[in-house]
Amino acid sequence: MEKTVMNSEEKTGNSAQPDSSRDRILQNVCRQLSGVEVPPLPEEESRRLPQPADVNLLAAEFQSKAEGVSVVFFDDVHSATKGLQRVAVSNGADLPIAIDNVELFEGWGDREGLLACDAGLTTAQIGIAESGTMALIGDVEKHRLVSLVPPIHVALLKRENIVGTMSEALSMLHQDGLPSSLITFITGPSRTADIELQLVLGVHGPRELRVVLI
């Protein structure tokens, strides 16, 4: 963890209680494990798709997998937001500052606004072709509420940011030091099957997920 620089207040030692329970638990864990043979930890593994990492192939695979879980693709952000009135946006660098006939507002700090808008607009930092998944990184962009609270989530994803596998995505998320404070993987719209296993979309999160590949 030597890679990180931290404020003094973020250092260790904010344990909330006297350490007796911690010590008793750890002591018992040690005691019970004494004499137990430790089997080896399997080597770290980097998994790739068999086919070469061609941008167009990966994008096509991403799209077909995402469509399989009810994601709808649009050619550009204008068609993806057509007919919408109020759209919350995150602070993503690649997001448009204006869209014709649509009122955009900063969504992340405005909960009332979020509850009343038609859609949330964010970018996604990574796409994962094998499952049609997007990774949204909290420290890059405040996606947490904008991608979750409104009934429609519109996400922009750069084709060049699509990788083959979850394994590749995880190593990217970890490569420059510690992972972001929040990473959200999204594969399709919110869903439930808790009533007789019938699929219903949009139970708590967005009912629709619209993606624009750029």
> Residues binding other proteins: what is the number (CB under 8 A)?
83
Name which of 38 and 98 has its Cβ closer to other proteins. 38
Which strands, in side-by-side order, build the sheet including 86-89?
72-74, 208-213, 152-157, 119-124, 86-89, 103-106
Binding mask 132-171 for other proteins (x = CB under 8 A): -x----xx--x-xx--xx---------------xxx--xx
Tell me: does residue 193 bind other proteins (CB under 8 A).
yes
Stretch that binds other proteins, among 2-10, 52-60, 79-87, 92-100 (CB under 8 A): 2-10
Q: Which of 87, 121, 163, 186 binds other proteins (CB under 8 A)?
A: 186
Tell me: does residue 187 bind other proteins (CB under 8 A).
yes
Tell me: does residue 172 bind other proteins (CB under 8 A).
no
**Pairing of the two strands 86-89 and 119-124:** parallel
| Spatial distance between the Cα atoms of 143 and 168, rounded to a whole number of angstroms | 22
Name which of 68 and 85 has its Cβ closer to other proteins. 68
| Spatial distance between the Cα atoms of 147 and 153, rounded to a whole number of angstroms | 6
**Smallest distance from other proteins to CB 139, Å:** 5
* Chain-centroid distance, C-alpha 75: 22
Residues 88-107 that bind other proteins (CB under 8 A): none
**Smallest distance from other proteins to CB 187, Å:** 5
Count how many residues are written for the chain: 214
Residues 115-134 that bind other proteins (CB under 8 A): 115, 131, 133
CA distances from 44 to 7, 126, 165, 197, 212 (A): 31, 21, 15, 37, 34
Q: Report the SS3 class of residue 126.
A: strand
| Spatial distance between the Cα atoms of 28 and 193, rounded to a whole number of angstroms | 41
**Pairing of the two strands 200-201 and 162-163:** unpaired
Residues 30-89 that bind other proteins (CB under 8 A): 30, 32-33, 35-42, 44-47, 65, 69
**Smallest distance from other proteins to CB 180, Å:** 7
